[in-house]
Structure formats: C-alpha cells, structure tokens
Chain A
Amino acid sequence: MSEFDETARTLLFDAPNSYVGRSVTRPNARRLTQGRGQYVDDIVLPRMLNVAYVRSPHAHAKIVKIGTKKAAAMPGVMRIVTGAEIAMVCKPYVGVLTHLQGMRSPPQYTLAVDVARWQGEPVVAVVAQSRAEAEDAVEMVEIVYEELPAALDAERALDPSEPKIHPEFDSNLCFQRTVDTGGVDAAMSSAHLVVEDTIRFGRHTGVTMEPRAIVADYNPAEESMTVYHCGQSPHMMQGIIASRLSLDEHRVRIVVRDVGGSFGIKIHTYGDEIAACALSLMLGRPVKFAADRYESFLSDIHARDHRVKARLAVDRDGNMTALEIDDLTGVGPYSMFPRSSGVECNQILNLTGGPYKHKEYRAKGTVVFQNKNMMCQYRAVGHPIAVAVAEHMVDQAAAKLRIDPAEMRRRNLIPDDAYPCKSPSGMRFEALSHQRCLEKLLALMKYDELRGEQAELRKKGVYRGIGLSSFIEVTNPSPMFYGVGGARIAAQDGCTIKLDASGAIVAATGVTEQGQGTETIMAQIAATALGVEMSCVKVLTGDTDKVPYGGGTWASRAAGIGGEAVLQAGLALKHNILEAGAVILKTNASDLDIADGKVVRKGTEQGITLAELARICYYRGNELPVDFQPELVVTRHYRVKDYAFVFSNGAQGCSLEVDPDTGFVKLLKMWCVDDCGRVINPKLVEEQARGGIVQGIGGALYEHCLYDERGQLLNATMADYLVPMAAEMPDIECAHVETPTKTSMLGAKGAGEAGTGGAPAAIMNAVNDALRPLGAKVTSQPITPEMVLRALGKVN
C-alpha cells in the first residue's frame, strides 16, 4: 500500500485555504460563453487543403475498379488518393491486446484496400481547396463494387453457413473468454429460486456535438508533423501517427485545444483521420478533415451492442448465491486499434454483479466480427450493460420472493466493513460504500413516500415505477488495463510545475480537458499544494511538446491519476520554494509555510512574496549563497500500483410514469449518490453525473443505431437518431459519499462515467416496476413505446 501520512493529508485538504472540496467556477468557461473556443474546425493554416472521402455504400463488397478521371477534373481538386496509395506511406494497424488471450484481428488499413467491410468505410480520399469542392468531386468518383454477402447477425456469426468476413480466419470470432469459480451448477441446483432472463442492448453511439476533426501539417523541410486534434490521448496519438507514417516520434507534435465533447468517441484510431495525416505527408501541405454529421453516424465508433443471457440463484432468505451470464456482442469487421473491441465484453465479464456478496460466478463472453460500423469504448464502457443485467436480475428475484427491491439490496450488497475483498470474477476492491450509498439514496428519494404515492396512484390507473441500481465503476486504471496487453497507452501520468519569474504557478499535465473541468481541478490541486490563490495558477494541457508524457483522459483517470501527479509535483515545488525561502530569510525551511502567495514564518505574516522570491532566484542569483541553486521547476509522475483499478461505487434511483395505452415513459426525477473518493470540486462532479445520466437515459430509452437486412444504417441523421433533448429530461438530484482511496495522497477516484454506468439499470428497473402489476416486462434497451405496448400485449 502507498505510504503517506494520513494526518498530513487531512491537514492539507481541510486547511482553510484549501481548494479541495470547493465548487469553484471554471476559469476557462467564460471564453467559451463568448464564442472564443478554439475547436479544430476553427483552425485555418496557410495553404491548407480539405479532404472528403468516398465511402462504401455497401456493408461488404469487393472494390473492383476505381475511376478518378472525372473527379480529378473538378474545380479545386488537388489530388485523389486510393487506399492502396495511402498504404504505401501508412502502415496498417492491428487492434489486439495480448492479455485478452486469443483475441485476433487482421491488419486494418486507413482506407479500404480491395474490400470494403462496412457501409461508411472510407475508400477514396479527395483533396481539394475547399470541403465543398471536395464533396462535389466525391460524387464524380466512379467505383465498381461487387457486393458480397454480409455478416450482420451476431447470433449466427459463428455458424459455418454465415459469410466469413476474413478469409484468413476460420470464423468470425474475434475474442472469447470464460470466468468460472467452479460452483455455479451446484449452487443453481440447490437454490431455492433461480431466475432467468435474456437482456438485449441496442447498438448506439456517442454523438459528440463537435464532430471528429483533424488538421495535419507536415513540414517536409524538418520531416516533422504538427497535428491539431480533438482526441483525448494526445501522446498516444503522437506514437500512432509517428509509427504508422514512419516519422520520428519526437518530431510529431499533437496539439489539442478545445474539444466539443468526446465521451470516448475521440480516443480511437480512425482511418479517415490517419489518412488525413498521410495526405499531408504526401502533399507537403496542411490537410484538414472535419467529419460532417452524416459521416459521424457512419464512422464514429458505435458501442453497447450486446445480448446477455443471465441466471441468478437465490436462497430462501433472498440471499444471492450464484450468478451466471453469457454475453454475445457483434462489433465491427475489425477490432479497433489500439484499445481493442474486446474490452467492453471483458468489462461485462469482470463487473457484472460486482456490488454483491454471492460467491459463485460463471461468465462467458463472445465477441464476433460483423459488417457493421466499428465498435469500441464509449463512456462507461461495458458498465451500463453489466449493471443493468445484475440489477434487473436482482429485481426479478426480489419480485418473485415479494421482497422490496431496496431490502433485497440491503441483504445482498457487500457490507461496508468487508473490505478489502475480491469479487468472484477476481476484481479487487480496496474500500467501497454500497450500503451507505444505498441508505443515502433512499433518504434522498424519500423512497417510502414514493412507494406510498405509487400505491395510491395505481388505484387510479396511473402506473408509476421506481427503480434502483447499485454499481461499481472502474476508475484510476493501472498499467493492467492496456499497457500489459502491448498497447502504447500510458497508465502513468506526470506534471511539470514551476514557479515562474513573476511568481505565478504554471502546471503542465498529461491529462486532458474535454469540458469536464480537468484544467480547473488541476489548478485547485496545485493551488492547494502550494498555498496560493487559484488565479495565480495556469494549467497547460493537450500539447505533447509542452506537457510530460501521459495517458490523457479515459477510464475516469484524470482526477485520480493526473491529480495525484499535480499534487506530488506541487508539494515538491513547495519544498524547493521553502528551501529557497529559508536561504533568503536565513532560517530553517521547517519554520516556513506558504500562505496567500507569500512564504511566511509559520504562525506569522512575515516573509517574502513568491513574486519577490522568484525575482531573486531568477535575476539576482548574486544574492544567493554560492552553494545553493534554486530549482523552481519540478516534475513528478504517478501510477496506480496497488490495484488493477481503483473502483468507485454508487447508487442511483429513478421515478417515472408509464402510460399503458401509448407506451410512453415519462421520467419524473432521478437521483445519484456517488462515492468517488475525495471530491475535489463537488459541482463539477455533480455535473458529470447529470451529463452522464442523460447519456444513460439516451441508451435506455431513445438511442439506437438501426441497421436493415443489408447492413445499411437507417437513421444516420439527428432527426432520426434520438438524442435526449431538454423537454423530456428530468431534474437530477446528486449527493456525495467520500471514501478516499489510500492508493494516493489525493485520495480521489474518478467520477466521469458513473452516471452513465448506473442510469440505464435504474430506468429499466423502474419501467418494469411500473409494468409489474400489469403482468408485463421489458428486457431490451432502448425501451421504446412500441416495446412497452408489445410487452402489454396491446400491439402485435
């Protein structure tokens, strides 16, 4: 276990001038309200060209012939490039993690070569002066395709009669895994009750408000490339672009400024983006690719396309004894590089049932290739499914045994004093607070009152539903997540912090900002460590030339891991400042502290401002002893060592009303109690919960990528793909429980994904709670009005 002084950390964070735990507003918010954001599509470079792509209209087709003559003659067109031509300067990639044993995927090229394998796969690049001219020319490219049978049904994907997507493989299997504690069969046969169900989750996608965009600027004179990007992991991208284009990594610079939402969508490697970099290399000029909304729907990663069969064994007193799941998921025709398309399934195997006490567990996961868009990690990866499955089964068992769902959870959640412990799937928990969160949630919801109101309204034919979910959430991952599998994705992170010549603090961090407030909380931590006002702190993120090598933002790691590096760096800088102060004030460093931007003798206000100290150190070295060299720039790194992941936990509740004649579900209110360890900024954590919950609502009730029997995406527009809008969303009440982790001094866990992980479960449980007296049940998401009416037998 990490060594640090518990008293020291309490003193630091509870001090009156500590920013930790304060809901300060975000310093970078004002400029965004003025339209002064700098998103990738706002960037214009001299001589910049624009690329548009010809995309495959077919789910699966041989590319027989490509005719570019007519297109090349169109106004403004500079160059037309095929997949084969790009492959000459850009290496393919393989999206496999070696620790997901047996996972396989063939090399994937940026643009399709010889065969297109999903509708929307880019096939030909058209580079022109303007995007409009490029699109005009795209229409004139003549491609002869030979349609091939497509593999579109995950249930049949492994049948020998199904079209095989990759001739070099014996089947469409990408990855398979089983987890087995060994005693499930015995527990099932001796159980008082076994409940069984099959739950389906519809494929859906992130719909970031800012579509993906990239500007690649290759400088042939220096063999260097600067890439303006909106991705979450700039260092990862630096490595990928360098390796694919055979450039020296240190001559590739990634610059990420403002990002218009990401949620995991912009963390992956997209052929159309890498191809834009290759085109800049080929042309020696900047090239911009800005996806439009239509191509976003066709090519942004999709996620959450799963069918889970589940069985739960319960004893006479309602104690869960065994859980079994069989998860089938159809991804795209390749496993996505570099994080792989097997992680979502792997998480489901690892996490389903995690909050509960049962000892026996068996889980089988099967990941198959399909001729549909690529699928990969999207906010809360796998959790919405893992939580929804377990929470549904818990409610089903509770209903059969006539135990109130809250009471059922009380009986079965791991007690708060049982830690550290391990789940049957092998997940190690340091310290969670399921019981405490549940009680806090029930109080917040006024659960008993809600039940009373529900009963009264049922007599009048009004069907309210109340749903609960308890969840665990992966945060602060160690290298056991990706690095161990061969991916060049950093789990460690660093911060370089300095006292500059004017006495201000500048902190450069390897984690990134997408609007959640990363820069703000890093400033809060730095200011707390150093004892200065936040207004003196500047935080740098997103530029690989300016920040220490880090992992960026994903798996809710920025606060816990990035924050710890900032804290350690800040404390180390404070140490160095006090050393310099001791020399200047001719006293001992242990007699000094920093308060309100001044190095002072403890307990007094006498001392020297940081500005004055900096002035002496930077300009008046003649005033310092010859044997003393101030070091006012410090770098510290941090990685999680003691656990594979630092889990957070929480509980969510949902109150809704189902109209049994129209099937419409009206959300009345939702609640979330989250334990993300030490809370740095309560307001930002709550807003992450709210935004995350609304994305979860999307998956539970509205969002679905609809494919037809030919593999065509039917609803690739904002009018047809239903993203939640303001009028249908409820107010969401949030509360905190804090169980600081001991894996770091900061004690913070992640908070960005818990809302999305827990919400679909609470909603589905609430709908089924509403429908129960009518003898109906839904087991599929998104829960549409038609699905509700079919469950009620009102529509056939």
Chain B
Amino acid sequence: MKAPRFAYARPASIAEALALLQKHGDDARVLAGGQSLVPMMNFRVAAPKVLVDINRIGSLTGIKVTKSFVRIGALARHVEVERSADVAKHLPLVAAAMPHVAHPAIRNRGTFGGSCALGDPAAELPACTLALGATFVVAGKKGERRIAAQDFFKGLYATALKPGELLVAAEFPLPKPGYASAFGELARRHGDYAMVGVAAHGLRKVGKFSDMRVAFFGVGDRPQRASGFERALEGQSAVDGALAKLDADLEPRADLHASAAMKLHLAKVLADRVLGGLAA
C-alpha cells in the first residue's frame, strides 16, 4: 500500500500556500497532520499530484485566549489542545472530547483544522464546534472570511470550504457564566470513531435545562444539532420527555457496525445519560 507519486511543496506562509492551491487547483491537496490523508493515499483512494505541506506555517499554529474568544489555530495538534490549560479552563467540552480522538501517536500529529476540514461524520471535534457555536476563519484568494460552524458541515466529507481555500483557525466564544458542557460517545474500542456521540453545552439552573446546544456525531452523514430536541429541553429537568424529538431531528445512516435504527436508539440512550449528567 504505497502512496502514488506526487510532487511536494512546503510553503512558508499562508500566501504561498494559497498561491500553490490556486495554481494547481484540483491536482493539489493540503497536507496538515496527514493522519487521514496519508492513509487515503496509501490505499490509493486519494492521489493528489501535488501535496502542499502546511506544517511549517507558523501563523496557523497556537491556542490564544482573547477577551471574547478562544482561538485554536488550524495547525494546533490534538496533543496541544489536549494539554492546553486554556482549553481545559474555557472549553471543557473540547477537553473532554480529546481523549477520545484516536490514540496518542495520532494526536501528536493530527490537527484541529485537519479534523474539521475533513468532515468525518463520526469525528468528535466538528460536533464540539457545533455545540459551542464556533466560527471558522478561512483564507482564500479574496482574503479572509468567517463561516459559522452551523453552516460549515455540509455532508459526508463535505464542508463549506471552497476549492483553493485554507482553514486558518476556529474561534470559540468564551462560555457565558454558569454554562456547562457534557460529552459522551459509544465506541466498540477506545479510540475508534464513535458509533454514536453527543456534545452538549448549555445552562442547567436548579436542574432545569436552558439554551441547550446538542450536537450528535456518528449518527448521520455529518455532525448535527438536534434543534427539536434542544427546544423540547427548554425548562425541563429530565431528558426523557424530549427524546422523541430525535426521531425527526436526526437522519441516521447505517454503517458497518450499526443499522440506522440502532444509531437512533443509541443516540437517545446516550443523550439521556450525557445530558442527565450535565452540571449534576
């Protein structure tokens, strides 16, 4: 399973990277952590003629806290996010998700931006961006633009990134006071892509849910917020009354390990357990 031949470029800046992507169009792919792209190349299901290695572009790295945001650079390695005190403090949902992302050796190379740009429906981080209302910062030939996470994940391995664009960072609004997070996933083996997962963020005062954002992953062809379920939770102290809304909210897709009916069932069980434990 040897990767097919390709030409390799290692731009030193975002501008250089964009120029390469512009020049080579569909022939080029961005190489970040490589933990998803390289297996695809080894299987020869991806055969880019040009690989644009962005790993040395400093402006894509880093985790920064400003007055209103936590900004995670697209090149922030999973391990950095996992060990970041800022993330633990301000984005406990992401901190809770990190140990479930693959395994340590993968986390040492895999990147935040890579995971989001790939759009795997069973990945943890895209669901966290949905639950926390993050905004993606994207660089293109016309300059920078921002895309809300809500509008970013379009379908199976499909995002709102246009050809020639580069994901630069994700900005997470600092959580409002009193807001809490809960995360859970079911996987056959630790580190596997989730059979079903849920990332939730919101308020629970005196046991009652409010302003909940609940994102499911591993269920459909993309991470999805369950808006009917979220609305039904408003003002409730227990979860089970709202679970029926998931029938309409979610579009479960069968995969090798679970039928659509199984996915829906597990989504309900997991939602009940994870949200039941929110700020408990």
Contact = CB atoms under 8 A, between A and B. Distances in A.
Interface of A: 131-132, 135-136, 139, 292-294, 661-662, 664, 702, 706, 714-715, 717, 719-720, 722, 724-725, 727-728, 784-786, 789, 794-796
A662 B2 contact: no
Contact of B269 (A662, A715, A717, A720): A662
A728 B193 contact: no
A222 B190 CA distance: 55
A728 B188 CA distance: 9
Contact of A722 (B189, B259, B270): B189
B256 interface: yes
Interface string B214-227: 00000000000000
Contacts of B261: 795-796
B265 A795 contact: yes
B4 interface: yes
Given A786-B259, A796-B261, A136 B5 contact: yes
Contacts of B259: 786, 795
Interface residues of B, number: 25
Given A722-B189, A727-B190, A784-B257, A789 B5 contact: no
Nearest to A794: B265
B261 to A, nearest CB: 5
Given A661-B269, A728-B189, A785-B195, 4 more contacts: A706-B256, A720-B256, A725-B189, A784-B257
Contacts of B57: none
B174 interface: no
A786 B262 contact: yes
Highest count of chain A CB atoms <10 Å: which of B5, B257, B258, B270: B257
Interface in B187-220: 188-193, 195
B124 to A, nearest CB: 15
A725 B191 CA distance: 10
Contacts of A294: 1, 43
B161 interface: no
Interface in B230-280: 256-259, 261-262, 265-266, 269-270
16 contacts: A132-B2, A135-B44, A136-B4, A292-B1, A294-B43, A702-B188, A706-B256, A725-B191, A728-B188, A728-B189, A785-B262, A786-B257, A786-B259, A794-B265, A795-B261, A795-B265
Interface string B23-55: 000000000000000000001100000000000
Nearest to A721: B256
Contacts of B19: none
Given A139-B44, A706-B256, A795-B262, A664 B186 contact: yes
Nearest to B258: A786
Query: Shortest 4 CB-CB distances between A and B: which pairs?
Result: A132-B2, A727-B190, A292-B1, A786-B262
Per DSSP, are chain A's interface residues mostly helix, strand or loop, or mixed? loop
A135 B1 CA distance: 8
Contacts of A796: 261
Contact of A727 (B1, B4, B189, B270): B189
A646 B17 CA distance: 69
A785 B190 CA distance: 15
B219 to A, nearest CB: 14
A139 B2 CA distance: 12
Contacts of B5: 136
A715 B26 CA distance: 29
Contacts of B43: 294, 717
B190 A662 contact: no
A714 B44 CA distance: 16
A136 B3 CA distance: 9
Interface in B126-169: none
Contacts of B269: 661-662
Contact of B2 (A131, A702, A795): A131
Contact of A714 (B1, B191, B256): B256
Interface string B1-17: 11111000000000000
A796 B188 CA distance: 20
A722 B1 contact: no
B1 A293 contact: yes
B238 to A, nearest CB: 16
A715 B4 CA distance: 22
Given A131-B2, A294-B43, A784-B257, A789 B189 contact: no
A303 B259 CA distance: 25
Given A135-B2, A720-B256, A784-B257, A662 B266 contact: yes
A715 B188 contact: no
A789 B259 CA distance: 12
Contacts of A724: 189
A662 B3 CA distance: 39
A796 B192 CA distance: 25
Contact of A715 (B3, B256, B265): B256
Contact of B188 (A136, A714, A722, A789): A722
Contacts of B190: 725, 727-728
Contacts of B189: 702, 722, 724-725, 727-728
A705 to B, nearest CB: 11
Contacts of A727: 189-191
Nearest to B3: A132
Contacts of A717: 43
Nearest to A718: B39
Contacts of A794: 265
A794 B195 CA distance: 17
Highest count of chain B CB atoms <10 Å: which of A131, A661, A724, A796: A661
A152 B1 CA distance: 28
Nearest to A294: B1
Nearest to B196: A662
A696 B2 CA distance: 32
A259 to B, nearest CB: 21
A728 B1 CA distance: 29
A139 B45 CA distance: 12
A162 B58 CA distance: 63
Given A662-B186, A725-B190, A789 B265 contact: yes
A293 B270 CA distance: 34
B121 to A, nearest CB: 14
Contacts of A706: 256
B1 to A, nearest CB: 4
Contacts of B257: 784, 786
Contacts of B4: 135-136, 139
A673 to B, nearest CB: 28
A719 B193 contact: yes
Contacts of B2: 131-132, 135
A205 to B, nearest CB: 16
B269 to A, nearest CB: 5
A288 to B, nearest CB: 14
A717 B45 CA distance: 13
B47 to A, nearest CB: 9
A789 B191 CA distance: 23
Contacts of A292: 1
Nearest to A717: B43
Contacts of B3: 132
A719 B266 contact: no
A786 B266 CA distance: 10
A706 to B, nearest CB: 6
Contacts of A135: 1-2, 4, 44
B60 to A, nearest CB: 27
Contacts of B186: 662, 664, 785
B182 to A, nearest CB: 17
A93 B1 CA distance: 29
Contacts of B191: 725, 727
Contacts of A714: 256
Contacts of A702: 188-189
Contacts of B256: 706, 714-715, 720
A204 to B, nearest CB: 14
Highest count of chain B CB atoms <10 Å: which of A292, A706, A714, A785: A785
Nearest to B264: A795
Nearest to B259: A786
